[in-house]
Structure 1
């Protein structure tokens, strides 16, 4: 249930911001986001394709491919839910879905994705994106990090537990020697 809430909250947040941006006049953009000292600019961009306008002339592919990927992710999350543990993976997938669904809604209903902010730092100045994009990136990063950690633990399981045991014995020795001097 918590994962459904994460998905709904993140999608709603991004769609709400998009709704506010779309209500404004196009000529009011770009403009600096308040309280960011000009580090974040707000835009009102419409992207009919994938990131950077890729495949913008192929609307059916741009709509159906994300629908298929999101369906697969929902299936994967549904399979994970009854399994004990795997909380990090479940959260990562929920965050990805929260961002992906808001962009899918745009693609299916508006026929374009609303991108609305740019970070004024280095190469990022050239990219305008939305929170949905950030959520997909963040969730993917969480999944990637979890997999790397799992692999590292798989490669070094005995050494890790041996080191932990050695540390525990060292601490026990220190405590025991401290009690003898009292």
Structure 2
């Protein structure tokens, strides 16, 4: 099931990126009609990490995500040997789906396609993609699950 989540989320993001890439850059930015002005579509090519960080070091921009994804996949593999831990597995799967999509972009295109911004306060200046959202969401699920698990263990130790 978790492999399907990873592949499905990566495929969704890559499909949208492909649609954006096929469109003329002169038609961007523009409003996403169904979003009532809250989302702007863009066609940005990010050659580095967020905000273009390390764009002048393309080999690092490819190698670091590959190492992180390998570690995340290893962690997911380790969790798969344990019963339960569903939220940890789900969080890692969601994050991996987004990370794999962005890694594909880096390795195949040489840049990550970022395609939308949320038109609210400072977020207006940030253009990202669903893969970024999946990494954020999956990481949050994983961290919250780990924190709750740690609190449970601490509570059990207190009661001993």
Q: TM-score range by the shorter chain?
A: over 0.9
TM-score normalized by the length of structure 2: 0.96
2:144 aligned partner: 145
Give runs of aligned pairs for residues 15-26 of structure 1, distance below 5 A: 15-26=14-25
Corresponding pairs, count: 159
Q: Give unmatched runs, 5+ long, in structure 1.
A: 161-182
1:167 aligned partner: none
Q: Does 1:14 align with 2:13?
A: yes
Give distance in 1, aligned partners of 2:138 and 2:106: 21
Give distance in 2, aligned partners of 1:78 and 1:144: 17
Q: Give unmatched runs, 5+ long, in structure 2.
A: none
Tell me how far 1:28 sits from its aligned partner: 0.2
Give distance in 2, aligned partners of 1:78 and 1:108: 24
Deviations 1:55-91 (A, max 9, x none): 0000000001101111111111112112111111111
Larger mean Cα displacement after TM superposition, 123-132 or 82-91: 82-91
Give runs of aligned pairs for residues 105-124 of structure 1, distance below 5 A: 105-124=104-123
Larger mean Cα displacement after TM superposition, 129-138 or 75-84: 75-84
Give distance in 2, aligned partners of 1:77 and 1:57: 32
| Bigger Cα Rg | 1
Tell me how far 1:144 sits from its aligned partner: 1.0
Q: Does 1:85 align with 2:88?
A: no
TM-score normalized by the length of structure 1: 0.84
RMSD of Structure 2 on Structure 1 (CA): 1.3
Give distance in 1, aligned partners of 2:62 and 2:153: 39
Secondary structure of the equivalent of 2:113?
strand
1:61 aligned partner: 60
1:174 aligned partner: none
Tell me how far 1:150 sits from its aligned partner: 1.2
